Amino acid sequence: MTLAELQELERTSTMPTYARQPVEFVRGEGARLWDADGNEYLDFLSGISVTSVGHCHPRVVAAVREQVGRLMHASNLFYTEPAMRLAARLSQCSLGGKVFLCNSGAEANEAAIKLVRKARPLGDVVVLHGAFHGRTYGALSATPQESKQAPFAPLVPGFRAVEPTPAAVAAAVDGHTAAVLLEPIQGETGVHVLSEELLRAARGACDEHGAALVFDEIQCGMGRTGTLWAYEQTGVRPDAITAAKALGAGLPVGALVTGERLADVLAPGDHGSTFAGGPVVAAAAITALELIDDPSLLARVRELGARLAAGLETLPHVLAVRGRGLMLACELDLPAPAVARRALLDQRIVVNATGPTTLRMLPPLTIGEADVDEALERLRAAVEG
Ligand SMILES: *Cc1c(COP(=O)(O)O)cnc(C)c1O
């Protein structure tokens, strides 16, 4: 099919929920993608922080192939080894409590919201302006963005949005607060790193009032910032984290992971999902964790992140560079959507605009120096137009 034919099918048959770029990708390998005409692209978006070990990593492909030919689905009425191994590994590499597996980021946050409400019945959930936690009703209610929420009122009650400042967070938490839910680095709204002071204020207020501190690490987790979890680079340990995106190396899987205190809040019948923790996605996720939870890879993420950030600082039209590790954004004095489009169509590098003047980069964690330098050359050309 030609691109024009795909666009016609999109127009007649799909709900117009996405503003797609006019490119059809047909193949991926490492940090490279190919379109239907055989053109090669440098992927500095990773499907929005999903293909963090690169496209079609041979070990992920082998694990999936092996599992898909053996057993694709059994249901959570029974045991399968990949789900149990994934849960154990996720707990060991983070907060040491228990894991609820699910199928997406929004679902991981839904599970977190249900858990903290059960732990403190009728409690409020405090969230921050600038947050994005997903599109399902609970997650959307935790996402204080007028344009995303307004058409879908009424939302789930009991969410309180406050400014992302230490004082505002501390003032919002009291004995009726079930949780503070936040992204240590706000991704969808433009890669804003929350300050250490804010995280400490949230931790202190939650401790004082017996509320749970939940970090949404769906975008910033899984090695993206140069440690397996973003919270490891802060002085603050949350009571639970949510993960998804890169967790399945390209397949849909999410997880809620708790520390000891919240491990046994949910009981049989409280929550569930037909597909959750299926053996194929669990096999992919175990492999993704084996690849990413590796000190030398994580050190490379920090090094290459510093190289990319330093290079971006030198580009024309770049006013500021934000982020940590390989989760970076630059603020431009030009319209970012047009730059992203030129980058894609003229320079064949995939990045995206998270706002009118913000360009975001989330390259695979497996890139090398040469990829960074090539990306900088292509981005220079794209900003220069
Ligand atoms: C992408 C994202 C989500 C939603 O994940 P989906 O898999 O799209 O439901 C939630 N929180 C953050 C921080 C995200 O980046």
Is residue 25 flagged as an active site residue? no
Pocket test for ligand 1, best of 50, 245, 253, 360 (most atoms within 8 A of CB): 245
Domain assignment of residue 36, yes or no:
yes
Q: What pLDDT does residue 308 have?
A: 98
- pLDDT category at 261 given cuts 50, 70, 90 is very high
pLDDT, tens digit, 9 for 90 and up, residues 38-66: 999 999 999 999 999 999 999 999 999 99
In order of 131, 360, 385, the CA distances from 336 in angstroms are 20, 9, 12
Distance 134 CA to ligand 1 centre (A): 5
Residues 100 and 248 in one domain: yes
Residues in the chain: 385
Confidence of residue 30 (pLDDT cuts 50, 70, 90): very high
Rg over CA atoms, the chain: 21
pLDDT of residue 113: 99
261's torsion region: left (phi>0), alpha (psi -120 to 50) or beta?
alpha
Dihedrals phi, psi of 249, to nearest 5 degrees:
55, 20
Q: For residue 131, what are its two tokens? A: 């947050």
Ligand 1 centroid vs 223 CA: distance in angstroms? 16
Give the domain-ending residue among 258, 292, 326. 292
Q: How far is residue 3's CA from residue 26's CA, in Å, rounded to a whole number?
A: 12
Do 362 and 185 contact (CB within 8 A), yes or no?
A: no
Give me the domain span that covers residue 149. Answer: 71-292
Q: Is residue 66 part of a domain?
A: no
Q: Which residues line ligand 1 (CB under 6 A)?
A: 104-106, 109, 132-134, 183, 187-188, 216, 218-219, 244-245
Task: Decide if 90 is inside a domain.
Answer: yes
Domain presence at residue 105: yes
Distance 43 CA to ligand 1 centre (A): 20
Q: What is the pLDDT of residue 360?
A: 98
Closest protein CA for atom 10 of ligand 1: 133
User: Does this model's pTM top 0.85?
Assistant: yes
CATH number, position 51: 3.90.1150.10
Q: Are residues 206 and 259 in the same domain?
A: yes
CB atoms within 10 A of CB 72: 11
* 149: in domain: yes
Per residue in 322-366, pLDDT (tens digit) is 999 999 999 999 999 999 999 999 999 999 999 999 999 999 999
Residues 50 and 89 occupy one common structural domain: no
> What pLDDT is stored for residue 9 in this prediction?
98
Whether 122 maps to a domain, the answer reads: yes
122 and 259 in one domain?
yes
Ligand 1 center to 219 CA (angstroms): 7
Strands (E), the chain: 25-29, 32-35, 40-43, 99-102, 124-128, 159-162, 177-182, 185-186, 192-193, 212-216, 240-243, 254-258, 318-324, 327-332, 349-350, 352-355, 358-361
Mean pLDDT of all residues in the chain? 98
| Same domain as 275, residue 145 | yes
Domain assignment of residue 243, yes or no = yes
Do 168 and 187 share a structural domain?
yes
Return d(Cα 381, Cα 316) in angstroms, integer.
Answer: 10
What atom in ligand 1 is closest to the CA of residue 131? 13
Decide which of 236, 268, 292 is a domain's last residue. 292
Question: What tokens were used for 5?
Answer: 């034919």
Catalytic hit among 44, 159, 245, 371: 245
d(CA 293, CA 52): 12
300-308 contacts at long range (C-beta below 8 A, 24 or more positions apart): 300/365, 301/223, 301/224, 301/225, 301/226, 301/325, 301/326, 301/365, 302/226, 304/367, 304/368, 304/369, 304/372, 305/225, 305/226, 307/369, 307/372, 308/361, 308/363, 308/372, 308/375, 308/376
Helices (DSSP H) in 165-294: which residue ranges? 166-172, 196-209, 279-292
274 and 236, same structural domain? yes
Whole-number pLDDT of residue 216:
99
Question: Residue 307: which pLDDT band, with cuts at 50, 70 and 90?
Answer: very high
Q: Looking at the structure, do residues 124 and 270 belong to the same domain, yes or no?
A: yes
Task: Output the pLDDT for position 117.
Answer: 98
Q: What's the confidence (pLDDT) of residue 84? A: 98
Q: Each residue of 342-365: b (16+ CB within 10 Å) or e?
A: bbbeebbbbbbbbeebbbbbbbbb
Residue 189 falls inside a structural domain: yes
**pLDDT (0 to 100) of residue 119:** 98
My answer on whether omega of the bond before 154 falls inside 30° of 0, hence cis, is yes
List Cβ neighbours of 324 (8 Å cut-off, separation of 6 or more).
185, 193, 220, 225, 226, 230, 233, 305
- Domain boundary pick from 268, 292, 316: 292
Burial class (CB in 10 A: 0-12, 13-18, 19+), 159: buried
Domain co-membership, 84 together with 218: yes
Structure tokens at 337: 């959507």
Q: Model confidence over 216-248: pLDDT tens digits? A: 999 999 999 999 999 999 999 999 999 999 999
pLDDT (0 to 100) of residue 97: 98
Mutate to test the pocket of ligand 1, among 194, 219, 224, 281 (most ligand atoms within 8 A of CB): 219
11 and 115 inside one domain: no
**pLDDT (mean) for 292-314:** 98
What are 93-150's pLDDT values in tens digits? 999 999 999 999 999 999 999 999 999 999 999 999 999 999 999 999 999 999 999 9
* Catalytic (active site) residue 239: no
How far, in Å, is the centroid of ligand 1 from the Cα of 50?
Answer: 10
Distance CA 77, CA 307 (A): 48
Mean pLDDT of 21-44: 98
Same domain, 330 and 302: yes
Q: Exactly one of 132, 215, 239, 371 is catalytic; which is it?
A: 132
Query: Are residues 53 and 77 located together in one domain of the fold?
Result: no
Q: What is the pLDDT of residues 143-160, one digit of tens each?
A: 999 999 999 999 999 999
Candidate list 216, 239, 293, 371, residue with the active-site label = 216
Choosing from 50, 103, 188, 229 the residue with most ligand 1 atoms within 8 A of its CB, the one to mutate for a pocket test is 188
Q: What are the pLDDT digits (tens) for 159-198?
A: 999 999 999 999 999 999 999 999 999 999 999 999 999 9
> In angstroms, how far is CA 154 from the centroid of its own chain?
26
Q: How many CB atoms lie within 10 A of CB 313?
A: 12
Q: Provide the number of structural domains found in the chain.
A: 2
CATH number assigned to the domain comprising residue 148: 3.40.640.10
